[in-house]
Structure 1
């Protein structure tokens, strides 16, 4: 049985027109903002490797609560606990977001026909958020689970994970998906809740931000690969 665009929209929005849907929208927006802000901070903290091993080392010690330690060294348990928290937020965000995901082939066809008929930039942005969200459903938990089970971070330890454990393959796929998904998500939240009305200017800002974050992430990844190539197994943790 074929499902046309009108049928899909009617069924889709009828299912969403409930008090739970309004609450789920708020949860999705709140968790999306939290994860988007976390991504912005995470990519910048990771990029401290571009300023050298010692800079990255001190950033890690600071984030892991080194100032509260008698030795001045950070505590990996902080990374573990925070990673568990982020995993729970991701699970909650995915749970409420999945209700909007086209579940049947006919719905995907209806969405494609709708996009071909109506050349609307926000509709295309939503489509790419769906695609990247699908990719992240598989990739993000792998990365977060790795940080839960192996929370040790440092110039040498992180480079070992990236190069010798071939995690660069995961990050090469994860980086564009998470950046595009998060930035489009922040744009849609700003528009949805009336935080900004100048969509054209905001879209330009989001495109610039995507390019900037992608560049930052790629340069950081290359730095870890170069450091990893110079290391000899077994790895000795970096200490300045």
Structure 2
């Protein structure tokens, strides 16, 4: 290794050990926990469509503050504002996470060689979190911007977005990437901050959650597609 490489490595590891790096780790963990918990809630709220249109309608009205409206109808502005908040959290999370992202093709090749030569489950988990994070860098903002610009939610309105606007393709790619990234992220946060010493058990929980969340997400997506196929344009919002 030449002098230039040694200096580069020294600068890299010195930056990782700086006070800024420690603060960035905390910010990354906090924002990751927020986003992971939001995903758990979001997929379960969305899956209420599996119980029928009326069930999903009432969930939406509750989340949008329908109890504070004289008509019982929620306020779409709540979805818009919360989407803006989630976008800010996502941007902050990505900003502090990018400092550990391989920026050059040679670094990716070195990482692949390293991964093929070891059998360490946490290293493989980190690699898949890296890959899914790269995918989410492009897909997640598209979904969030859609919710900011068009916050109207409902059985028919959401089905229109999924089926008639062909958003199903985005969601089919986004769903596995975000679930895998989030569950591995929550696992790594728990291990990193010493919340558990049972890594094997926690890995099993993470795998079960990944399969479970992707399953309910896909079933919900299929439900929206089936509903959308039965609707004709222009869409009339669902009212029980």
Q: CA deviation at 1:65?
A: 0.2
Q: CA deviation at 1:14?
A: 3.3
Structure 1: where are the runs of 5+ without partners?
none
Q: CA deviation at 1:112?
A: 1.4
Structure 2: where are the runs of 5+ without partners?
none
Distance in 2, Cα, partners of 1:239 & 1:105: 53
Provide the residue aligned with 2:77 in structure 1. 77
Structure 1 residues 123 and 8: CA distance shift in structure 2, 3 A = farther
Distance in 1, Cα, partners of 2:10 & 2:183: 28
Distance in 2, Cα, partners of 1:14 & 1:212: 41
Provide the residue aligned with 1:50 in structure 2. 50
Do the aligned partners of 1:12 and 1:100 also contact (CA within 8 Å) in 2? Answer: no
Provide the residue aligned with 1:197 in structure 2. 197
Aligned pair 1:126/2:126, yes or no? yes
Provide the residue aligned with 2:186 in structure 1. 186
Do the aligned partners of 1:8 and 1:107 also contact (CA within 8 Å) in 2? Answer: no
Structure 1 residues 219 and 80: CA distance shift in structure 2, 3 A = same
Distance in 2, Cα, partners of 1:113 & 1:14: 24
Q: CA deviation at 1:174?
A: 0.1
Provide the residue aligned with 1:165 in structure 2. 165
Aligned pair 1:223/2:206, yes or no? no
Distance in 2, Cα, partners of 1:57 & 1:15: 50
Output the TM-score relative to the length of structure 2.
0.95
Provide the residue aligned with 1:99 in structure 2. 99
Distance in 2, Cα, partners of 1:15 & 1:101: 14
Provide the residue aligned with 2:155 in structure 1. 155
Provide the residue aligned with 2:137 in structure 1. 137
Q: CA deviation at 1:117?
A: 2.0
Distance in 2, Cα, partners of 1:33 & 1:9: 30
Give the total of aligned pairs.
Answer: 237
